[in-house]
Protein backbone atom coordinates (compact mmCIF):
# COMPACT_ATOMS: atom_id res chain seq x y z
CA UNK A 1 0.00 0.00 0.00
CA UNK A 2 1.40 3.37 -1.03
CA UNK A 3 -0.61 5.48 1.46
CA UNK A 4 -0.11 5.86 5.21
CA UNK A 5 -2.82 7.78 7.10
CA UNK A 6 -2.06 9.54 10.38
CA UNK A 7 -3.31 12.05 12.92
CA UNK A 8 -0.25 14.03 14.06
CA UNK A 9 -0.07 15.06 17.71
CA UNK A 10 -1.58 18.49 18.18
CA UNK A 11 -4.39 18.04 15.62
CA UNK A 12 -7.88 16.82 16.48
CA UNK A 13 -8.87 13.26 15.70
CA UNK A 14 -12.13 12.77 13.86
CA UNK A 15 -14.00 9.55 13.31
CA UNK A 16 -14.47 10.37 9.64
CA UNK A 17 -10.97 10.99 8.27
CA UNK A 18 -7.28 11.27 9.14
CA UNK A 19 -5.55 14.64 9.06
CA UNK A 20 -2.55 13.61 6.92
CA UNK A 21 -1.69 11.04 4.28
CA UNK A 22 1.83 10.16 3.20
CA UNK A 23 2.21 8.71 -0.29
CA UNK A 24 5.15 6.58 -1.34
CA UNK A 25 3.85 5.14 -4.62
CA UNK A 26 4.97 6.03 -8.11
CA UNK A 27 1.70 6.65 -9.99
CA UNK A 28 -0.88 9.33 -9.31
CA UNK A 29 -4.54 8.55 -9.98
CA UNK A 30 -6.99 11.43 -10.34
CA UNK A 31 -10.64 10.43 -10.21
CA UNK A 32 -13.04 12.94 -11.71
CA UNK A 33 -15.79 14.19 -9.45
CA UNK A 34 -18.33 11.40 -9.16
CA UNK A 35 -22.02 12.23 -8.86
CA UNK A 36 -24.98 10.00 -8.02
CA UNK A 37 -25.34 8.39 -11.43
CA UNK A 38 -25.73 4.67 -11.87
CA UNK A 39 -23.89 2.91 -14.70
CA UNK A 40 -26.60 4.04 -17.15
CA UNK A 41 -26.35 7.73 -16.21
CA UNK A 42 -29.59 7.71 -14.19
CA UNK A 43 -29.53 9.75 -10.98
CA UNK A 44 -29.79 7.62 -7.84
CA UNK A 45 -31.57 9.02 -4.78
CA UNK A 46 -33.02 12.21 -6.19
CA UNK A 47 -33.72 14.48 -3.19
CA UNK A 48 -31.96 12.05 -0.78
CA UNK A 49 -28.53 13.31 0.29
CA UNK A 50 -27.52 10.09 2.07
CA UNK A 51 -28.39 7.95 -0.97
CA UNK A 52 -26.48 10.28 -3.28
CA UNK A 53 -23.40 10.30 -1.03
CA UNK A 54 -23.49 6.50 -0.98
CA UNK A 55 -23.66 6.32 -4.78
CA UNK A 56 -20.85 8.85 -5.18
CA UNK A 57 -18.52 6.81 -2.96
CA UNK A 58 -19.48 3.59 -4.77
CA UNK A 59 -18.70 5.32 -8.08
CA UNK A 60 -15.30 6.46 -6.77
CA UNK A 61 -14.58 2.86 -5.74
CA UNK A 62 -15.59 1.65 -9.20
CA UNK A 63 -13.31 4.20 -10.87
CA UNK A 64 -10.42 3.22 -8.60
CA UNK A 65 -10.95 -0.49 -9.25
CA UNK A 66 -10.78 0.21 -12.97
CA UNK A 67 -7.10 1.15 -12.58
CA UNK A 68 -6.20 -1.41 -9.92
CA UNK A 69 -6.67 0.85 -6.89
CA UNK A 70 -8.92 0.91 -3.81
CA UNK A 71 -9.85 3.41 -1.13
CA UNK A 72 -6.69 2.24 0.68
CA UNK A 73 -4.74 4.04 -2.07
CA UNK A 74 -6.62 7.35 -1.76
CA UNK A 75 -4.45 10.22 -0.53
CA UNK A 76 -7.13 12.94 -0.63
CA UNK A 77 -10.89 13.31 -1.08
CA UNK A 78 -12.84 16.43 -1.96
CA UNK A 79 -16.58 16.44 -1.27
CA UNK A 80 -18.78 19.14 -2.79
CA UNK A 81 -22.31 19.51 -1.37
CA UNK A 82 -24.95 21.83 -2.81
CA UNK A 83 -26.26 24.40 -0.31
CA UNK A 84 -24.20 22.90 2.52
CA UNK A 85 -25.20 23.63 6.10
CA UNK A 86 -23.86 21.83 9.19
CA UNK A 87 -27.27 20.27 9.90
CA UNK A 88 -26.71 18.07 6.80
CA UNK A 89 -23.71 16.35 8.42
CA UNK A 90 -25.73 13.37 9.76
CA UNK A 91 -27.00 12.61 6.23
CA UNK A 92 -23.49 12.92 4.79
CA UNK A 93 -22.14 10.54 7.44
CA UNK A 94 -25.03 8.13 6.89
CA UNK A 95 -24.21 7.99 3.18
CA UNK A 96 -20.53 7.34 3.90
CA UNK A 97 -21.47 4.61 6.39
CA UNK A 98 -23.79 2.96 3.86
CA UNK A 99 -21.11 3.09 1.16
CA UNK A 100 -18.55 1.69 3.61
CA UNK A 101 -20.84 -1.24 4.39
CA UNK A 102 -21.38 -1.95 0.68
CA UNK A 103 -17.69 -1.67 -0.14
CA UNK A 104 -16.31 -3.43 2.94
CA UNK A 105 -13.98 -0.54 3.70
CA UNK A 106 -14.14 2.82 5.47
CA UNK A 107 -12.70 5.73 3.46
CA UNK A 108 -10.57 7.65 5.97
CA UNK A 109 -8.30 9.75 3.75
CA UNK A 110 -7.86 13.44 4.45
CA UNK A 111 -10.93 15.17 3.09
CA UNK A 112 -12.15 18.63 2.29
CA UNK A 113 -15.88 19.38 2.48
CA UNK A 114 -16.99 22.31 0.35
CA UNK A 115 -20.39 23.91 0.06
CA UNK A 116 -21.24 24.86 -3.53
CA UNK A 117 -24.10 26.70 -5.18
CA UNK A 118 -24.80 24.05 -7.81
CA UNK A 119 -23.40 21.03 -9.63
CA UNK A 120 -23.78 19.76 -13.19
CA UNK A 121 -27.56 19.21 -13.05
CA UNK A 122 -30.15 20.37 -10.51
CA UNK A 123 -30.89 16.88 -9.13
CA UNK A 124 -27.28 16.25 -8.07
CA UNK A 125 -26.69 17.21 -4.45
CA UNK A 126 -23.11 15.97 -3.97
CA UNK A 127 -19.93 15.25 -5.92
CA UNK A 128 -16.87 13.37 -4.65
CA UNK A 129 -13.41 13.45 -6.25
CA UNK A 130 -10.34 11.48 -5.25
CA UNK A 131 -6.60 11.51 -5.67
CA UNK A 132 -4.87 8.17 -5.19
CA UNK A 133 -1.30 6.91 -5.34
CA UNK A 134 -0.37 3.41 -6.49
CA UNK A 135 2.90 1.56 -7.12
Residue 95 contacts residue 128 (beta carbons within 8 Å): no
SS3 state of residue 3: strand
User: What's the pLDDT at 64?
Assistant: 96
> If we measure between CA atoms, which residue out of 117, 102, 105, 114 comes closest to residue 54?
102
Where would I find the H helices in 27-129?
49-65, 89-103
Q: What is the pLDDT of residue 1?
A: 66
DSSP state of 72: G
Give the pLDDT confidence score for residue 13 in this predicted structure: 87
Q: What's the pTM value of the predicted model, to 2 decimals? A: 0.91
User: Exposed, middle or buried, 100 (CB in 10 Å: 0-12/13-18/19+)?
Assistant: middle
Please write the tens of the pLDDT for every residue from 43-100: 999 999 999 999 999 999 999 999 999 999 999 999 999 999 999 999 999 999 999 9
Give the pLDDT confidence of 91-125 residue by residue, as tens digits: 999 999 999 999 999 888 999 999 999 999 999 99
Amino acid sequence: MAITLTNPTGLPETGVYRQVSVATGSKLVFVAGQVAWDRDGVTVGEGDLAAQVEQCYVNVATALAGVGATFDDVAKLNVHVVDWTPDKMPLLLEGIDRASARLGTTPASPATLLGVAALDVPEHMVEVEATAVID
